[in-house]
Amino acid sequence: QVQLKESGPGLVQASETLSLTCTVSGFSLTSYHVSWVRQPPGKGLEWMGRIRSGGSTDYNSALKSRLSISRDTSKSQVLLKMNSLQTEDTAIYYCTRSGLGANYFDYWGQGVMVTVSS
């Protein structure tokens, strides 16, 4: 069955770089798009960016200067890197799947909590 699982450090120091991994199973990264969505504690959802099935990327303009999304298809992994972290980046980070031509997320990972410490 379709699964997405996020992994990464739970605690990161301010000004450092966050690296997260989304490991997928049950589908191919070359057939679906994968996005990252985050949710600060007690707040709403924010789309960060995506890597398309063909390997190109799209980013939220508010994060574009700090964010990089890549993938390793041989490992079925999508990688997120975001630099210059601030305490406001404290959030649960989710990876999500969307189908070709589908403008919504049909599967979500369980999420990983990241705390940015000053």
Partner 1 sequence: EIVLTQSPITMAASPGEKVTITCRASSSVSYMYWYQQKSGASSKLWIYDTSKLASGVPDRFSGSGSGTSYSLTISSVETEDAATYYCQQWSSTLTFGSGTKLEIK
Site residue total, partner 1 (CB under 8 A) = 18
CB–CB of 34/24 below 8 Å?
yes
**Chosen residue from 41, 54, 88, 104 binding partner 1 by CB under 8 A:** 104
Q: How far is CA 108 from CA 15, 62, 87, in A?
A: 28, 22, 24
Q: From 11-19, 20-28, 82-90, 103-111, give the range in contact with partner 1 by CB under 8 A.
A: 103-111
What residues between 18 and 47 interact with partner 1 by CB under 8 A?
35, 44-47
Is 110 a binder of partner 1 (CB under 8 A)?
yes
Q: Which of 4, 6, 10 is nearest to 106 (CA)?
A: 4
Return the CA Rg of the chain: 13
Q: Which is nearer to partner 1, 100 or 102 (CB)?
A: 102
Q: From 12-20, 68-76, 77-85, 97-105, give the range in contact with partner 1 by CB under 8 A.
A: 97-105
List residues near partner 1 by CB under 8 A.
Answer: 35, 44-47, 60-61, 94, 102-111
